[in-house]
Amino acid sequence: MNRKKLLASALVAGVSLVVVVGSIAIAESSQEAKPAKQPEMKLPPGWTEADMQACMLAGTPGKMHEHLAKGIGEWQGKTIMWMAPDTEPTTSACTFTVTSAMDGRFIKYKVAGEMPGMGPYKGMGIHGFDNVSKKFVSAWIDNHNTGIMSGLGELSSDGRTITWKYTCNCPLMGKPTEMREVEQVTGPNTKTFEMFGPDRKSGKEFKMMRIELTRKPTVQAER
């Protein structure tokens, strides 16, 4: 085979390779362009489309969940506590760690501090917004109780204050009691919590606790 025939054969082979590679690339691109087939959702026996839609709406995060998410972060605070009316308060430091939970449907609080005369305090709470009742919901547990404190909250018209009404079993009174908490945003990175409860002697409400919180700056990772 002479030199010209060798060059011609090489050229034909090169063109064929380009055509094959190009065909594979086009085929792959065409496959990627096709949207992935979504699994077909089947209605449970006895359900209607309206039933399914109602459940989907109830489980979809919205503006109120976005409002709760504004509190995510690390917070440093000061706790002021009154153990009874007209007494001198005690003060201590505390930390709040607030994170998102259940794909943005809730936020989780983890609190660490001191309980006067009782040692270290650890608490954990869940805040959410119930799309069905149209109310904020909360549950709280800590290392000084065996019960669960549950509550409902209402947002003020200016969006800066949530007033919570909690129910718990009071160990001093030996029966269920109601507590009121006012959670107020005071700035872009500051907020306060004030807890009110009944005096076990008179039954009148008094301020039991105030927490002043400042959010820690977010540390940006070096690029």
**Domain of residue 103, CATH code:** 2.40.128.20
Is residue 45 in a domain?
Answer: no
Is residue 1 in a domain?
Answer: no
Is residue 16 in a domain?
Answer: no
Domains identified in the chain, total number: 1
Closest CA to 126 of 164, 180, 169: 164
Is residue 3 in a domain?
Answer: no
- pTM greater than 0.75 (yes/no): yes
In the chain, DSSP assigns E strands to 73-81, 90-101, 106-115, 119-130, 135-142, 149-155, 161-170, 175-187, 190-198, 205-215
Q: What 3-state DSSP class applies to 80?
A: strand
Is residue 125 in a domain?
Answer: yes
Is residue 33 in a domain?
Answer: no
Is residue 43 in a domain?
Answer: no
Closest CA to 210 of 8, 191, 61: 191
Range of the structural domain that residue 190 is part of? 63-215
Task: Kindly report, residue by residue over 72-126, the tens digit of the pLDDT.
Answer: 999 999 999 999 999 999 999 999 999 999 999 999 999 999 988 889 999 999 9
Task: Kindly report, residue by residue over 155-164, the tens digit of the pLDDT.
Answer: 999 999 999 9
Contact 93, 78 (CB under 8 A): yes
